[in-house]
A and B are shown apart, each in its own frame.
Chain A
Amino acid sequence: MSLRIVVCVKYVPDATGDRHFADDLTVDRDDVDGLLSELDEYAVEQALQIAEEADDAEITVLTVGPEDAKDALRKALSMGADKAIHVEDDDLHGTDVMGTSLVLAKAVEKAGYDLVITGMASTDGTMGVLPAILAERLGVPQVTLLSEVKVEDGTVTGRRDGDSASEQLEASLPAVVSVTDQSGEARYPSFKGIMAAKKKPVESWDLSDLEIEADEVGLEGAWTAVDSAAQRPARTAGTIVKDEGEGGKQLAEFLAGQKFI
């Protein structure tokens, strides 16, 4: 029987662009180019490796996001995923993590899955809690923040490098896994992959396909509210000296002046 892998990928504003908030205090997605979150490339990569090891596996990439989020799906398909699902609905604008996780949980269930793989955090919201919430909602084991992952005989094992210890984890499928950026470089799409991706199926679902009411999601339905967002004042220009042989001493003098020594 085929191993059904669903990879959750997010379409995010480029971190190297001038990111800011829109008037309604949601993330502005119009003025900065979007892309597949770099941290989710690691999830796609691990899915591909797990599929290569399995006798028979199928990888579906899933995103919840605006029209442009298709770009993220295309990138994942060109890396080698088999098919894609795009959950798109005007009522989703402003959804927070509770709403997004609800939509993803319903979509994953509708798609059918043995293994869900996510990134460690999105590069825009950087919460890093969605995988745990998804596991809670689906009622399956969470095997998260793995720097190494393996799937064999219906069991997922992996290494979680925490602050105080490195742990070896084990759970049976179905399960939700998240992988860190230590799990191994993601591959670049090949020319062949890019061409093949154009022919791969991308399904579009909206909220009614998932039997979710509009007031359960979106800015109005959010469980949290952002009241204000202010740009941090730019740091005032400091003193910059060129080392002419005394640079270390000059720096020490500065630190002493600031009472650090």
Chain B
Amino acid sequence: MAEVLVYVDHVDGAVRKPTLELLTLARRIGEPVAVALGAGAENTAAALAEHGAVKVLTADAPEFAEYLVVPKVDALQAAYEAVSPAAVLVPSSAEGKEIAARLAVRIGSGIITDAVDLEAGDEGPVATQSAFAASFTTKSRVSKGTPVITVKPNSAAVEAAPAAGAVEALAVTFGALATGTKVTSRTPRESTGRPELTEAAIVVSGGRGVNGAENFSIIEALADSLGAAVGASRAAVDAGWYPHTNQVGQTGKSVSPQLYVAAGISGAIQHRAGMQTSKTIVAVNKDAEAPIFELVDYGVVGDLFEVVPQLTEEIKARKG
């Protein structure tokens, strides 16, 4: 059976959920061979094996942390040459997309980014993508070279499928470009203890209607009552009320949770681009004409300062 290369996103050996989803999708096309780079790479093996990786290629070198993107491309290319896979799958993070794109140029392949589903086809893997702010769904293929495809979080259910997952050291030689862009300092983001925005099953977002950084505690309280991640519209981010990393939309994160709650958000096309594919959408907005109501399964026309705290209290009461 053909092998499929899966690039592993991990934090010090802890594999992030989108990579486990990729293994599910990879098994539809062939046998997953995982590539894990950087500190803790070998510690990823157990989780990867449990989800279907037949092999785990690992490499660690200071270059991975000290220089931007290119050292990882060199390593992925080394894995590609060692394995000659039928396809290369990479998680659709900002960095993942850049790594995938540069690999595609080097190996003379086409690239598909931000797939939301993947299946085997007669002419190679067929990717489903969302286009034009998720108002269209397309199916496409890579028609030249080995398909390189980046896949968004929440695109498949994680399935256990135990496999050997034998760890093998990957030999990597860095090219001249690897040290081109130096990372001179790195400030890790502080953890909020809440779920990762793109991976969360429930997202609660606040917009301009929240009217101040201090009022975001109302949004956070609702999120915590539901075990949800917190999102924000660009208007709220631009006003400095919430960090840009939490922005939902075209130039922020795109999310596809089971439930999306929009409070004080009008529903501009650029915001919809990032949340339109959520399974269930509910909104609280005091303007009955707000476009967000065109998307909702349930909407409350009212003041979020009344409705949201009442909702939070009711959820807490029901959960006991």
Contact = CB atoms under 8 A, between A and B. Distances in A.
A and B associate: yes
A163 B94 contact: yes
A133 B97 CA distance: 10
Contacts of A165: 186-189
A15 B300 contact: no
18 contacts: A19-B132, A19-B135, A21-B131, A96-B110, A98-B110, A132-B98, A144-B98, A145-B94, A224-B110, A225-B140, A227-B139, A235-B281, A238-B298, A241-B298, A241-B299, A258-B280, A260-B280, A261-B319
Interface in B157-200: 177, 180-189
Which 8 pairs, one residue from A and one from B, show the smallest C-beta to C-beta distance?
A243-B302, A248-B310, A223-B110, A141-B180, A129-B101, A252-B314, A248-B311, A132-B98
Interface stretch (B24-32, B79-87, B142-150): B142-150
Contacts, number: 259
A194 interface: no
A133 B319 contact: no
Interface stretch (B34-42, B49-57, B288-296): B288-296
A97 B306 CA distance: 48
B284 A224 contact: no
B247 to A, nearest CB: 9
Contacts of B288: 240, 242
A226 interface: yes
Interface in A237-261: 238-243, 245-252, 254-256, 258, 260-261
Interface in A98-128: 98, 101, 120-121, 123-124, 126-128
A241 B301 contact: yes
B146 to A, nearest CB: 11
Given A142-B98, A181-B251, A243 B301 contact: yes
Interface of A: 15-16, 19-21, 25, 39, 96-98, 101, 120-121, 123-124, 126-129, 132-133, 135-137, 139-145, 147, 157, 160-171, 175, 180-182, 222-232, 235, 238-243, 245-252, 254-256, 258, 260-261
B239 interface: no
Nearest to A13: B132
Given A126-B250, A132-B69, A260-B258, A227 B141 contact: yes
A98 B183 contact: no
Nearest to A224: B110
B181 A169 contact: yes
A127 B138 contact: no
Most B CB within 10 A of own CB, among A25, A181, A251? A251
Contacts of B95: 162
Nearest to B225: A261
B313 A248 contact: yes
Contact of B136 (A21, A132, A180, A252): A21
A255 B140 contact: no
Interface of A is mostly: mixed
A251 B182 CA distance: 50
Nearest to A249: B314
Contacts of A20: 132, 136
Contacts of B235: none
A232 B137 contact: yes
Given A15-B270, A223-B144, A247 B310 contact: yes
A239 B226 CA distance: 21
A254 B180 contact: no
A136 B105 contact: yes
Interface in B59-114: 68-70, 73, 93-95, 97-98, 100-102, 104-106, 109-114
B315 interface: yes
A256 B187 CA distance: 40
A161 B187 CA distance: 9
B295 to A, nearest CB: 5
B138 A228 contact: yes
Given A227-B139, A261-B318, 6 more contacts: A120-B251, A141-B177, A170-B184, A229-B136, A230-B138, A241-B299
A161 B245 contact: yes
B69 to A, nearest CB: 7
Contacts of A121: 251
B221 interface: no
Nearest to A231: B136
B143 to A, nearest CB: 4
A123 B306 contact: no
Contact of B98 (A19, A124, A129, A171): A129
Which of A120, A127, A135 has its CB near the most chain B CB atoms (within 10 A)?
Answer: A135
Contacts of B213: none
B47 interface: no
A92 B109 CA distance: 19
Contacts of A256: 318
